[in-house]
Amino acid sequence: MIVNPFTVNRSKELDDNSPEKSDLKDSKTIALLVKDGRYSTSYLPSGVYVEISEASVCRDQIMKQHVRLSNQIQGWLQKFSWSILSVMPIGIPLVD
């Protein structure tokens, strides 16, 4: 079971307009929400949806790594471009 924190906060304000916050008050509010059936169940994907989720996470990680490495290479090229140009004759491509 999942109880939305915003719902807990709003219900607590309706029940008791006191600005004080306490774990006892929060637990009582959550218990009342569960008793009244104002909760949702968690969604656990299965089958192909798990594979799609894992592929999406993997793609995000690869894209972040790609951006990080591209930025690192560009930084190196800017930092050491003078030494590359002094060694390489002009007109020869640096990268194929």
**What is the tens place of the pLDDT at every residue in 5-42?**
777 777 777 667 666 777 777 788 888 888 888 877 88
- 3-34 burial, b at 16+ Cβ within 10 Å, e below that, comes to beeeebeebbeeeeeeeeeeeeeeeebbeebe
The pLDDT of residue 17:
67
> Where does the pLDDT of residue 89 fall: very low under 50, low under 70, confident under 90, or very high at 90 and above?
low
Shared-domain flag, residues 52 and 87:
yes
Shared-domain flag, residues 64 and 23:
no
In a domain, residue 40? The reply is no
pLDDT in tens, 44-84: 889 999 999 999 999 999 999 999 998 898 888 888 776 66
Structural domain boundaries, residue 21: 5-35
In a domain, residue 73? The reply is yes
Higher pLDDT, 3 or 85: 3
In a domain, residue 16? The reply is yes
The pLDDT of residue 52:
96
Are 11 and 29 within 8 A, CB to CB? yes
